[in-house]
A and B are shown apart, each in its own frame.
Chain A
Amino acid sequence: MDPFRTLTAIAAPLPMPNVDTDQIIPARFLRAGRDGGFGRACLHDVRFGPDGEPRADLPLNHPAVQGAQILVSGPNFGCGSSREEAVYALWDFGIRAVIAPGFGDIFYGNALKNGMVPVVLPEPEVAELTARLQAAPGSRLTVDLDARTVSDEDGVARPFAITEFARRRLLEGLDELDHTLSLLPEIDALEQQMRRQWPWNAGLPSPTPSSD
């Protein structure tokens, strides 16, 4: 995972609440392999009309925001299905950070695991940023993970909160799995203790080979 420190990039507004992961990547696109790229599928039915033509009135489709790496959206971004492909789709579309007043918990975790920064800002600040991006399409924002701020082109910085665990993981590109594997002795010890106390929670008997 590539570390993330700071990013200055075009920010695209998607002023909708509850952008669920079914919208970020509709189920019919889930079949693709990871290598194929999910960029085209990203927000497909939001970006394109039933005729397959880009929706002209959508701020995200404005020519000036092409190449955006930051997305600014409404409350409860990424709610719904746990599909991690939602993060892959945004990533392949070029997005490296999403700014919203709140995120679905599972999406938030999935983003962190893939090096994408979920930035929570208060709703009025998100509304103000959105208005700014809509007034001047193609404007840039800076997400600074060291300083934990989002700044606009006028240099106004808005602080955001992120846990130290999440921040370190993003800054250092830490691999969670390696870290956990180093804790295997502790995991074994707890499992043994649990097996004594709650034996019914231990593993299932190994499957008998089926007769058919």
Chain B
Amino acid sequence: MSAPLTMFEPLTMFEPLTMFEKIWRRHTVTEDDDGQALLAIDRHLVHEGSARGFEILARRGLKVRRPDRTVGMADHIVPTAPGRTALTGFQRAALELFQRNLDGAGVRAFGLGDDRQGIVHVVGPEQGITLPGMTVVCGDSHASTHGALGAYGLGIGASEVAHVLATQTLWQRRPRTMRITVTGDLGPGVTAKDLILAVIGRIGADGATGHVIEYAGPAIRALSMEGRLTVCNMSIEAGARAGLIAPDETTLRYVRGRPFAPAGADWDRAAQDWLGLATDPGARFDQEIRMDATAVAPMVTWGTSPQDVVGVDGRVPDPGQADETRREAMRQALDYLGLVPGTPIEGIPVDRVFIGSCTNGRLEDLRAAAEVVRGRSVAPGVTAVVVPGSTPVRHAAQREGLDEVFRAAGFEWREAGCSMCVGLNGDIAAPGERVASTSNRNFVGRQGPGARTHLMSPAMAAAAAVTGCLTDVRRLIEGRTG
């Protein structure tokens, strides 16, 4: 409901809309007064974990309604060892089921051996399968990633996967809207990952629950598409339903020429339409937050929620100084992480380094990490792996010789997949091991029972690998270009 007009406000014919509302309206089949809407879904990305959705579908005797709007990608459980020679019985069975489900429904699948294979949220944008203005769903909560293109991306559970398979629609309660405007410039060695960790630290892991976040402002505009994908990816870690960034020239440059992107006359129409998705001046958000990018340092998590974050130049916080309601949870988190309050973050030794995931497994991420690694070696006793987010990313990196940089330093150079982000494929850390990870979740047990995860940017993870401890990457890039 808009506020009553005053005589000073110009009367316009159109009610100013947020980008979210524009996308929502286009896709609404029906909406009740309560804000409960049935949304048409443009793209449904499925993976091996979607098997449970197919199971529900089969139990109901239903078919995939729109196989042409559904795409399957093998990512969550695939082995990442070079050559992928050894599949476990579980992996073989899961991949066979994946292929059977998709073939049976006539759905396109990028399985093992397909040179487009990779993590759903990397491959969707990379292939032009997900486009600005679309509704995109996936049985993986990081579907918020696609918001970087200006698509409304929603993570869904198995019942919803079945619902979308059967109807190509989804019931959604209209979210509230939040705009996060970021001004200023990110400093050298400070990346999109640091920015989004700082945002989550500021608003909390449930700070955006029930909301869709639109990221705006000069610091967001200045980000590459890769950086925007990282930011939107982690919206869910602030509790948001989705993240969005208005399409602009950066978006168009990224999308143009992708295999499934529109071309010819369609391209011109599409590009014009996409630029028109931006929030209208004067549109209202339920919440507005402002941040200054200049103040953001390279960030590291110290606890078991992505909100437990501090600048690398900071110290492990003291629960004794914290708000009473948070004290016990902080104590438990520090206990799990094996950290003593007051310890400087820099210098905390790590056992493993994981560079990859749908958050930071794209080419720009690997370049940033390689830049730090070049001419250095992985510290003794540290196991370091790079798992590209997709096979095309892997190939592109190899063409640039990044694989050689990593291998020469003592990193393992793996095949594409989710790998240690979730450990479903068996890539996990041992109990008590400390991991510098570019993924998105530092939850208890996420990277294996007892594994201690510190989230950070690819450059920061690379710095940890070559020094053997959490290190301010700015120290290592001084005097280096890029």
Contacts and interface: CB of A to CB of B under 8 A. Distances in A.
Interface stretch (A20-28, A62-70, A140-148): A20-28
Interface in B294-346: 304-305, 307, 325-326, 328-329, 332
A27 B312 CA distance: 30
Given A34-B52, A165-B173, A184-B167, A113 B157 contact: yes
Contacts of A105: 209-210, 239, 241
B52 A80 contact: no
A27 B423 contact: yes
Interface stretch (A3-11, A90-98, A196-204): A196-204
A60 B63 CA distance: 42
A15 B133 CA distance: 41
Nearest to B137: A82
A206 B106 CA distance: 8
A109 interface: yes
B446 interface: yes
Contacts of B325: 123
A56 interface: no
A30 B157 CA distance: 13
Interface string A165-209: 100000000001100110110110011001000111111111100
Contacts of A45: 444-445, 449
A190 B29 contact: yes
A181 B171 CA distance: 12
A28 B422 CA distance: 10
A18 interface: yes
B198 to A, nearest CB: 18
B42 interface: yes
Contacts of A83: 49, 157-158
Contacts of A152: none
Contact of A207 (B38, B108, B171, B269): B108
Contacts of A194: 26-27, 40
Given A80-B443, A187-B168, A201 B157 contact: no
Contacts of B183: none
Nearest to B135: A201
B249 interface: no
A180 B326 CA distance: 43
A187 B449 CA distance: 45
A200 B262 contact: yes
Nearest to A114: B159
B156 A82 contact: yes
B129 A183 contact: no
B205 A177 contact: no
B449 A79 contact: no
Contacts of B423: 27-28
A106 B113 CA distance: 32
A84 B68 CA distance: 25
Contacts, number: 183
Interface string B19-49: 0000000111110101010101010000001
Contact of A82 (B42, B140, B262): B140
Interface string A65-87: 00000000011100111111101
B55 interface: yes
A183 B68 contact: no
A13 interface: no
A22 B448 CA distance: 10
B205 to A, nearest CB: 5
A200 B266 contact: yes
A16 interface: yes
B446 A204 contact: no
- Most chain A beta carbons < 10 A, residue from B42, B141, B156: B141
A50 B55 contact: no
Given A31-B90, A113-B160, A194-B40, A181 B166 contact: yes
Contact of A50 (B62, B94, B157, B449): B449
Nearest to B53: A84
- Most chain A beta carbons < 10 A, residue from B52, B62, B262: B52
A181 to B, nearest CB: 7
B106 A16 contact: no
B383 to A, nearest CB: 20
A123 B155 CA distance: 27
B162 A204 contact: no
Contacts of A198: 26, 133, 270, 273
Interface of A: 15-18, 20, 22-23, 26-28, 30-31, 34, 45-46, 50, 74-76, 79-85, 87, 102-106, 109-110, 113-114, 123, 163-165, 176-177, 180-181, 183-184, 186-187, 190-191, 194, 198-207, 210, 212
Given A187-B38, A190-B29, 17 more contacts: A22-B444, A27-B423, A28-B423, A50-B450, A74-B329, A75-B206, A76-B239, A79-B205, A84-B158, A102-B206, A105-B209, A106-B156, A180-B167, A198-B270, A198-B273, A201-B131, A205-B68
14 contacts: A20-B441, A30-B49, A50-B449, A76-B209, A83-B157, A106-B155, A110-B157, A163-B36, A164-B34, A191-B40, A198-B270, A200-B266, A202-B68, A204-B108
